[in-house]
């Protein structure tokens, strides 16, 4: 199947709104965090999101925080609720489905998808806020910076950042777009187990071109964890990258071939 029709948001349940949001008001930005068994890193990630958006609160820009629990078996949902996030659930384990489920509940004019092992800075969110005020911007992403000093990680992030600048493709760890455009395009393609963000980036680019708008890659980087390097090591990651380069479509549509994202190791 291809992209799915993402319904407009339903009436949200009664929750304690996070700082920066106003009950009953449509927020300017909806931050959507997909998460599976993220109790180790989630508190730090949600804290970074709140702190990085403190400047928005001071200037009156409103936002909401939505976490989609993707069938977690740990304390992910309760930790998110304690942090003030609105928690929704997606029972089928797939990143694209979790992102779409979170977006279906979002009320904001803009959507921002951030991974649960990523830590945005105040500088990054300030640049984002300035960018979203530009009428010719349809969406975009940010450069990526890995924690630690992994040689392979430094190479891969440098390579990806160059590709991202050139193509205006957004990383899944930090992708933003107008909510109306997201719904017009049907959201993330649920036939993909990885690279759904690249597919959406390409479709957003085509839509932007037709509308005389543009995609933007922000200059400030997003700090994200290097846990896949720690868990799987360079050899396994390189093996996946080579397989993906040889057979991208087949690989992206196979949960088994994308085990690095779906075997549950944390």
Q: How far apart are CA 215 and CA 98, in angstroms?
A: 23
Helix (H, G, I), strand (E, B) or coil at 176: strand
The pTM (predicted TM-score) of the whole model is 0.89
One digit per residue, the tens of pLDDT, for the chain of length 266 reads 455 555 544 433 333 344 444 445 789 999 999 999 999 999 999 999 999 999 887 788 899 999 999 999 999 999 999 999 999 999 999 999 999 999 999 999 999 999 999 999 999 999 999 999 999 999 999 999 999 877 777 888 999 999 999 999 999 999 999 999 999 999 999 999 999 999 999 999 999 999 999 999 999 999 999 998 889 888 898 899 899 999 999 999 999 999 999 998 88
List the structure tokens of 189: 């393609």
CB of 35 closer than 8 Å to CB of 71: no
List the structure tokens of 264: 């549950």
Q: How far apart are CA 7 and CA 76, in angstroms?
A: 25
Residue 14's pLDDT is: 34
List the structure tokens of 55: 């400047």
- DSSP conformational letter for 65: E
List the structure tokens of 228: 């896949």
Residue 17's pLDDT is: 41
- Domains assigned to the chain: 29-262 (3.90.550.10)
């Amino acid at each position: 199947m291809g992209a799915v029709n993402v319904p407009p948001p339903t009436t949200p349940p009664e929750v304690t709104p996070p700082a920066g949001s106003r009950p009953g008001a449509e927020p300017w930005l909806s931050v959507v965090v997909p998460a599976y068994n993220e109790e180790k890193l989630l508190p730090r990630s949600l804290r970074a999101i709140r702190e990085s958006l403190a400047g928005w609160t001071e200037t009156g820009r409103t936002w909401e925080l939505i976490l989609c629990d993707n069938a977690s078996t740990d304390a992910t949902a309760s930790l998110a609720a304690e942090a003030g996030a609105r928690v929704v659930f997606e029972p089928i384990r797939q990143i694209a489905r979790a992102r779409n489920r979170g977006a279906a509940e979002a009320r904001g004019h803009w959507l921002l998808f951030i991974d649960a092992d990523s830590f945005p800075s105040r500088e990054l969110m300030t640049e984002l806020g300035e960018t979203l005020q530009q009428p010719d911007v349809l969406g975009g992403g940010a450069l990526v910076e890995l924690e630690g000093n992994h040689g392979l990680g430094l190479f891969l992030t440098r390579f990806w950042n160059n590709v991202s600048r050139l193509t205006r493709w957004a990383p899944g760890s930090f992708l933003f777009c107008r909510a109306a455009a997201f719904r017009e395009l049907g959201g993330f393609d649920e036939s993909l187990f990885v690279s759904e963000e690249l597919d959406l980036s390409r479709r957003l680019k085509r839509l932007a071109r037709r509308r005389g708008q543009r995609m933007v890659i922000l200059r400030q980087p997003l700090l994200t964890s290097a846990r896949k390097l720690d868990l799987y090591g360079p050899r396994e990651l390189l093996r996946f990258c080579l397989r993906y380069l040889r057979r991208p479509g087949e690989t992206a549509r196979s949960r088994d071939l994308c085990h690095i994202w779906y075997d549950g190791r944390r």
